[in-house]
A and B are shown apart, each in its own frame.
Chain A
Amino acid sequence: MPHETPTGGFKKTSSGKRLTGIIMNDYLQLHQRAAEGAFVVWIAIVVPAELFAGFDNVVYAVPESHAAMSAGKGVGAVQCGKAEKAGYSSDLCSYARIDLGTAMDGGKDSPSFGMPRPHLLVSNNNNCSLLAKWFDVYHRVWGIPHFILDIPFCYEEQTPQDFAYIRGQFADLVRTIEGLSGQRFDEAKAREAVCLSGEALREWKRFTSLAQHRPSPITAFDSFVQMAPILTSRGTQQLADHYRALADETEEQMRQGVYPVPDERYRLLWDNIAPWHQLRKMSGRLASLGANITTASYTYCIGSLEGTFDMYAYDGGDPFAWLARLQNFSVCPHGMALRARAMRQAVERNGIDGVVFASNRSCKVYSLMQMDQMRFVRDELGIPAVMIDVDHADERKYSEEASFVRLEALLETIDAGRRGNGMNSGNPSI
């Protein structure tokens, strides 16, 4: 297939511009409140940040999100290099290396001037357990307490025993912050934050579900970028309003016939974390081929229970309970059968023609089931799949040409299937 100049794909909309303002404001607020004496917590992405809203003066930062932003802004490799110079292996997760590099260099080269130094580290071993080791580095070097949330991996659906265990740890976390910060926890405020998160997730689902339309009004790259405030603004009215406007705007674009890949011929699903350093390039080049990655397991899992595709709504009850039940939502903390179940729903509902498994050297927990998942997609779902090598934040480990050779082969296989001599006719996929 000839490689044309990228014309479509990812475009900055008014929601995109608003998003930039939100993220900038979030980091400014974070620095400002920290400077004014707020209690600062660094968290893993799945830690229920809504709980912090129950305190008058607790702010939180998300190193993974900051690392993704750094990679997206083109400074990922620079920060990785600093960590590597300090002895951290280049085989370690690039988020971790970016974060360590940023922290060790006092925030230099960071798009947000880094993050204010924390009073407490809260990791969570379900999304990835290496995060506990990563946060341990700060715990030792800076002497900061480190609270680990131990979340059992879901090979099957979360059990009542696991649920109770997780919920108990949330209560423990609240007591820990009370003890360290001297502030009292107000459950009503946390409940309000959970309500707002529930509202935001409902709008998020409305936005991502628009990918069912042909052609799709969104690309997965839009959803990758737009997920950022879920991490930095959780439990706020701002987040709910933003996602409502995002979904409204996207629906309006549909009414006007504006689509990112108007001549959409291939609808693809992406499995893994976004390649932050490649969003614009990859989406543009795919669009020039008539391909749209409309759907991503990385973003359709948000707001759902493990192994499902639909929204898990907050019923207004115990906020701790809702947060605990959702604790395995992201793809990493659940097993093969659950991943397959959700992926089947995504493929069927969104009319997916092929799956791109991004084998991500920096995320073993997401990646190390993909070889068997590929067989599942091919054999059980009957659509072709391809595996490409990526690293979510270290562009030095990514080859655009090698990836596109395989992506183009995937598109050819889809074409062959449509002509009746593809995998459904006994011709194996790639």
Chain B
Amino acid sequence: MNGILETLSGMKTGGRRLIGCFPLYPPLELLHSFGLTPITLWGMRDAVRDYGTGDRHVQNYACQVARALTGFVIDNGPSLFDALFMYNACDTLRNLPEIVHAGIRETGADLPIFRLHVPALSPDRTGAKDYLRDRLRLLMADLERFTGRPFSAKAFAESAALYAKQRSFCREIEALCTGGKMPFAAAAPLLERAHFMDVREHIALLEEAVTHHAGLPENGSGVRVLVSGIQAPPVDLLRVMDASGLTVAANDIATMARSYGTSPTGSDLLDYYAAFYFDHHPCTTILPAGDRRIKLLGQRVQEDGIRGVVFFGEKFCEYEYFEIPYLQETLNTRGVATLFLELGADDLANLMPLRTRIEAFAEIVRGDSV
């Protein structure tokens, strides 16, 4: 993921209008249909090494995601982005639009920020769908004013088709990992590039990878495990898993499976996003989806022959941390081994302790004698 800044700078220089979005599941199709290139500002672990700017605005007990995002946007936002977009998720993130805005204004620049409140309710609750529709109409009106072009149902349908194709290819890549034809350590960076590339260019990359790997023989002879987390673990750790005899056959990573797991159909924008948000692939950041997440993980474990689950915990991520003990207990009861690893901003310089724990876990799930 090195070179996010260079990639985005190149896109900007090439004449694109970039809109930086957070958190994970912005209405990409809508933004794209207005001629904008949405960039999901999540998982910039490798793009931000110096937290100085972020730490001037956000205490260091915020998660690495928030600290990196804050610093990156304040330092680079005005030169890279034409606007920012955010919707509500956790307690930390809902404070960020104003913090980021204050930081940008301190530099003498400014950026418009569009916001959307996505109902944190199940769709059967009174007013939930209507409220979302109302918010989307307001967002559309804001985007029309900002871009100077009217909403086009045709453009939206085209954008929705592109993102559906991208998500479909992402799922194919995951299936290749599940089938042992592609190592997850190779797939993860490719999948995560979805957030920092033009959708058409990403589709081309995915298609090429699918074509290439589909013809390869199966090589996933390790013990099958599932990895979970709010962002992908460092590739070095995924390689350690490979080397330790673990085959990542499925993922519950927010920037991967949770992002491409939902692909609504239909051309009506309001129905499309009602389906997108209310029936979204379960994620800790979507409050009503918690119960579905547990069921889905259980299903993946069963269907994909998973014998172990590795939780890559994002330090200070409360949403993830409230669910992990219950998930671990539930999985352990079903005979699935679990490993919880915590990753914070300061842990990336020395991954050796984590490597040792992965190797020990691999020995356990392989059933090696001690």
> Distance (Å) between the CB of B168 and the closest chain A CB?
31
- Identify the stretch in A128-136, A181-189, A242-250, A284-292 within 8 Å (CB) of chain B at 4 or more residues: A128-136
CB-CB under 8 A from B88, the residues of chain A are: 129, 152-153
Assess whether B115 is in contact with A140, with CB atoms less than 8 Å apart.
Answer: no
The reply to whether the CB of B298 lies closer than 8 angstroms to some CB of chain A is no
> Distance (Å) between the CB of A340 and the closest chain B CB?
10
Assess whether B56 is in contact with A133, with CB atoms less than 8 Å apart.
Answer: no
Assess whether A150 is in contact with B119, with CB atoms less than 8 Å apart.
Answer: yes
Complex-state Cα separation, A88 to B313, whole angstroms: 12
Option from A87, A96, A150, A365 in Cβ contact (under 8 Å) with B328? A87
Option from A133, A337, A364 in Cβ contact (under 8 Å) with B92? A364
Assess whether A136 is in contact with B322, with CB atoms less than 8 Å apart.
Answer: yes
Nearest residue (CB) in A for B285 is: A129
Decide if the interface of chain A is mainly helix, strand, loop or mixed. Answer: helix
Assess whether A148 is in contact with B120, with CB atoms less than 8 Å apart.
Answer: yes
CB-CB under 8 A from A332, the residues of chain B are: 91
Complex-state Cα separation, A150 to B118, whole angstroms: 9
Assess whether A133 is in contact with B319, with CB atoms less than 8 Å apart.
Answer: yes
Contacts A128-B91, A130-B90, A369-B95 given: A361-B61 contact, CB under 8 Å? Answer: yes
The reply to whether the CB of B117 lies closer than 8 angstroms to some CB of chain A is yes
Assess whether A368 is in contact with B92, with CB atoms less than 8 Å apart.
Answer: yes
CB-CB under 8 A from B321, the residues of chain A are: 88-89, 91-92
Complex-state Cα separation, A92 to B317, whole angstroms: 8
Interface hits, A104-142 → B, CB 8 Å = 125, 128-130, 132-134, 136-137, 139-141
The reply to whether the CB of B261 lies closer than 8 angstroms to some CB of chain A is no
The reply to whether the CB of B269 lies closer than 8 angstroms to some CB of chain A is no
Complex-state Cα separation, A369 to B316, whole angstroms: 17
Assess whether A130 is in contact with B322, with CB atoms less than 8 Å apart.
Answer: yes
> Distance (Å) between the CB of B328 and the closest chain A CB?
7
CB-CB under 8 A from A89, the residues of chain B are: 313, 321, 342
Assess whether A371 is in contact with B131, with CB atoms less than 8 Å apart.
Answer: no
Binary flags per residue of B275-296, CB closer than 8 Å to A gives 1, else 0 = 0000000001001101100100
Option from B99, B117, B128, B323 in Cβ contact (under 8 Å) with A372? B99
Complex-state Cα separation, A93 to B90, whole angstroms: 13
- Identify the stretch in A3-11, A24-32, A168-176 within 8 Å (CB) of chain B at 4 or more residues: A168-176
CB-CB under 8 A from A140, the residues of chain B are: 290-291, 294, 326
Can you identify 5 A-B contacts, CB atoms within 8 angstroms? A88-B322, A125-B287, A153-B117, A164-B127, A367-B59
- Given A171-B126, A369-B99, 5 more contacts at CB 8 Å? A130-B91, A168-B126, A172-B127, A364-B91, A365-B95
Q: Which residues of B contact A (CB under 8 A)?
A: 56-59, 61-62, 66, 88-92, 94-99, 102-103, 115, 117, 119-121, 125-128, 131, 134, 284, 287-288, 290-291, 294, 313, 315-316, 318-319, 321-326, 328-329, 342
Closest A-B pairs by Cβ, 4 of them: A87-B325, A365-B91, A133-B322, A336-B98
